[in-house]
Structure 1
């Protein structure tokens, strides 16, 4: 794939790296406090009624052990948590689709090479990480899904599409314009995974507030799959809320990297957070909404291997 200068994000400057390092140390010592005023303004709009349900499965994946403080601000570097490149399969009576087709074959050359060099060691998963297409086969999914629905368009949520040519992608208008527009995304989506003749089905969050989230989109019109506002990590980040027989599940993408962030309202550490969150304040606000929603729904961040385990 091409990695020309139009696709490559600009590398962080020395000053930006020093600022992120300083922010990382400050966050370790004194994490950003919960915004009590914001918490007090968030209301519960309720969950949709209806009888239709879906199944939500996490595909098998190879986790890696990382320091908790590398994904959760202030969590410390001695404790370890498990991180993974999870893809989810959602089965609705009308369609089967992928949420966050995360990883492609030969990703170091086809995808990770787009990233600034300083970020590559941080984000590169184990060598035996399963490509989405191989994970589908390992899980016994006997058909190609009808479409893909990324929670956002960073490389590790779309590059699995490179091995799945032809399947359409549902992408929020805001996210489509950000990732495919003339400006360079800050950490590079894989543009070729979304182009080369692939159909993009754009949508808006044109529905009312749902649970603690300010806007929504009913994907099938029956209340079984609701897309909700989680902008911050990227301009058009969304969560995928599914009604299952066991209750509501919210696939939260990278609004949080680990469930502990949701439970304790802890943002991503400054390194690499300042380079991967498009709007740190909006991302922190989204964490507050997830924190309150966790009493209503099961919240599953895409990269939290253990949170996804209950869906395998």
Structure 2
């Protein structure tokens, strides 16, 4: 008897393999017409600053071409499951609580077998709760704010019971009420806890068409980065060292943003919900990087640069 689920998985694997080979030789070209059509609405007026802390994380070395389509130099790049803590005068919250204790059984085991080797992080990967406990100066968390509802952005919630979650309405509907749940324990992480929904009800910011001012003071503005998932967002944060944009998985690495290169076909075809829209969002990030540093969640070196910028001491003028 034929197995339609297995057949579909094999067909997807074959398609992803063909796409990866084709993309390595002939990567998807920049859409110059779309790029010229994008307008820049400028930065918001921020009344205060916030502090953004990248929690410590262990990197995984990966072939560049497996992350950035058609790019082979440098030969390898560092990726990681980085979480960020944002401190505002009204609240302290965690962005992308990425990794839980015993993630192999609680999340990764639920992924399709073909994906597990590609996404499994190193054994030394630091659970979010452990990273939080290592940062002794951080205040207690008031809520979590995932950029999107994939397992490696909410798995850490399994170790943070009862912590409220702020989630884009579009993303919650997709993750919690759709006919097929995102794999990897996503619903397990979000069910039975307070979930506060928000909409992108604000004006265009930078090159992004919609926004939401989280505190009403311009210091943390959520922007539309749809494509990777239907409700993916980024966080534009105003720090003492300037603006920073936490971009989730709209791009996995800054090389994608610099060169406007989509994710490699494997595993990109499995993880980008809307490949075309994700590519358009990448164009918007490419233009926005002229004004703000962009930190993709999985770009380990970008997280290190953020940490260095946030801890640097300004020398007095002489």
TM-score category (smaller protein): over 0.9
The structure-2 alpha-carbon separation of the partners of 1:186 and 1:105, relative to structure 1 and needing over 3 Å to count, comes to closer
* Partner in structure 2 of residue 165 of structure 1: 161
Pair 1:83-2:111 in alignment: no
* Partner in structure 2 of residue 4 of structure 1: none
2:202 aligned to 207, 211, 226, which one? Answer: 207
* Partner in structure 2 of residue 35 of structure 1: 31
| Structure 1 length-normalised TM | 0.94
SS in 2 for 1:201: strand
> How well do the aligned residues superpose, as a CA RMSD in angstroms?
1.5
* Partner in structure 2 of residue 288 of structure 1: 283
Question: Which protein is bigger by CA-based radius of gyration?
Answer: 2
SS in 1 for 2:306: coil
* Partner in structure 2 of residue 21 of structure 1: 17
**Partners of 1:10 and 1:186 within 8 A in 2:** no
SS in 2 for 1:39: helix
The structure-2 alpha-carbon separation of the partners of 1:12 and 1:297, relative to structure 1 and needing over 3 Å to count, comes to farther
What is the distance in 2 between the residues matched to 1:11 and 1:101? 34
* Partner in structure 1 of residue 312 of structure 2: none
The structure-2 alpha-carbon separation of the partners of 1:132 and 1:166, relative to structure 1 and needing over 3 Å to count, comes to same
The structure-2 alpha-carbon separation of the partners of 1:261 and 1:11, relative to structure 1 and needing over 3 Å to count, comes to farther
1:58-69 mapped onto 2 (5 Å cutoff):
58-69=54-65
* Partner in structure 1 of residue 53 of structure 2: 57
What is the distance in 1 between the residues matched to 2:46 and 2:273? 35
1:221 aligned to 191, 216, 226, which one? Answer: 216
What is the distance in 1 between the residues matched to 2:276 and 2:185? 21
In the alignment, structure 2 segments of 5+ residues that lack a partner are 308-318
**Partners of 2:106 and 2:185 within 8 A in 1:** no
The structure-2 alpha-carbon separation of the partners of 1:77 and 1:244, relative to structure 1 and needing over 3 Å to count, comes to closer
2:248 aligned to 248, 253, 256, which one? Answer: 253
C-alpha displacement of 1:11: 8.5
Post-superposition Cα deviations, 1:113-152, rounded to whole Å, max 9, x if no partner, equal 1110100010000111000000011222444310000000
What is the distance in 1 between the residues matched to 2:249 and 2:46? 28
C-alpha displacement of 1:77: 8.5
**Partners of 2:181 and 2:187 within 8 A in 1:** no
C-alpha displacement of 1:200: 0.2
**Partners of 2:106 and 2:184 within 8 A in 1:** no
The structure-2 alpha-carbon separation of the partners of 1:174 and 1:32, relative to structure 1 and needing over 3 Å to count, comes to same
The structure-2 alpha-carbon separation of the partners of 1:200 and 1:288, relative to structure 1 and needing over 3 Å to count, comes to same
The structure-2 alpha-carbon separation of the partners of 1:255 and 1:292, relative to structure 1 and needing over 3 Å to count, comes to same
Deviation >4 Å, runs of 4+: 9-12, 186-189
Pair 1:184-2:180 in alignment: yes
Pair 1:71-2:73 in alignment: no
SS in 2 for 1:297: coil
C-alpha displacement of 1:108: 0.5
What is the distance in 1 between the residues matched to 2:270 and 2:114? 10
C-alpha displacement of 1:182: 3.8
Name the stretch that deviates more: 75-84 or 42-51.
75-84
C-alpha displacement of 1:58: 0.5
What is the distance in 2 between the residues matched to 1:83 and 1:23? 22
Name the stretch that deviates more: 13-22 or 232-241.
13-22
What is the distance in 2 between the residues matched to 1:46 and 1:22? 40
In the alignment, structure 1 segments of 5+ residues that lack a partner are 1-8
Larger relative helix fraction: 2
C-alpha displacement of 1:307: 0.4
SS in 2 for 1:248: strand
